[in-house]
Amino acid sequence: MSAILETKNLGKRFGAFAANSEIDFSVQKGELRAVIGPNGAGKTTFFNLLSGIADPTEGEIYFQGEKITHLAGPRRVARGIAKAFQTANVYPDESVFQNCRLAALAHTQGLFKLELFRPSSRDANVDTIAREALELVDLYEMANLRAGDLSHGDKKRLDIAVALATKPQILLLDEPVAGMSLEEVAKTDHLIRGLAKQMTVLIIEHDMNMIMGISDSITVLHQGKILAQGTPAEIRSSKTVQDAYLGGHDEGHV
C-alpha cells in the first residue's frame, strides 16, 4: 500500500541549528500515528513542515504521491491537509458557528478571499459543513456563543472543528489535550478515536497513557531526527526509547 503522506530526508535549519534533519517518514491512509519526543525534539517544527507553515531547508514532502514540498499552506489545506494548533487558533469575537463557517467558506470557495468575512449564501452547503464539524466535536449546542468565552478545552475542540470544516483527508493535532482537565481529556480521547475512523490522524502529545491507548503506530523524534518507529508495544519496550525519552520518567505523562 502506498503512503498518503511521505517525507524523504526532510530537514529544517535555523542558522547552524538543525530543528529537523534526515526525516524519512510515511503514514498510510486511515492510520492514527503519534509523534512523540522530549521537549525540543522538533515535533512542532515537523508538523509545521507538513502543513506548509514552515518551508524545509532540505528534503521532500509527498502527498498522495505528488510532491508538495514548497506548496503554500492554504493550498495544502485545499488539497486535504489541516492542522489544529497547540494554542487554539480561533477568532475570539466571532461566534462558535461563524468560526467554523469561515473555514467551510474557504473550503467551498477556494483560497482566502476578503468576502469570506461577509454574509454569503453562494454555497448552500456551507452551513451544513459548519454544523457537521461542530456536531463531530460536540459543540453545536454552543454554536451561538462567543468563541472567546469558551473554556480552554472547548476552545481547543473548536480549533479541531475549524480544521474539520475544511474537509481534510489528514488531520494534524498538536498537543490536543494540553492543559485540559481529566474530564476534557477523556472527551477529546473519545473524539480522536472517532475521527480516526474517518480520516488519517497525526498527533503530537505528551500524555503517554492516551498515546499508548489510541495510536496504531508511533514515531519518536529525538534531537530533530527519528529515533524509533513502531507499534505502541514496541515503543514502550524499546530500550533505545527508554534511555533517550521514557527512562527515569513517569510513562503516564512525559
Cα–Cα distance, 144 to 232 (Å, whole number): 40
pTM over 0.85: yes
Question: Is 64 in a helix, a strand, or coil?
Answer: coil
Cα–Cα distance, 206 to 76 (Å, whole number): 26
Number of C-beta neighbours around residue 115 at 10 A: 11
> What ranges do the domains of the chain cover?
1-80+168-254, 90-166
CATH number of 1-80+168-254: 3.40.50.300
Q: Which of 159, 168, 42 is nearest to 7 (CA)?
A: 42
pLDDT in tens, 135-178: 999 999 999 999 999 999 999 999 999 999 999 999 999 999 98
pLDDT in tens, 191-225: 999 999 999 999 999 899 999 999 999 999 999 99
- At residue 244, the pLDDT reads 79
- At residue 124, the pLDDT reads 64
249 confidence band (pLDDT: 50, 70, 90): very low
Q: DSSP alpha helices (H): ranges in the chain?
A: 43-51, 73-79, 96-109, 125-136, 152-164, 182-195, 208-214, 232-237, 239-241
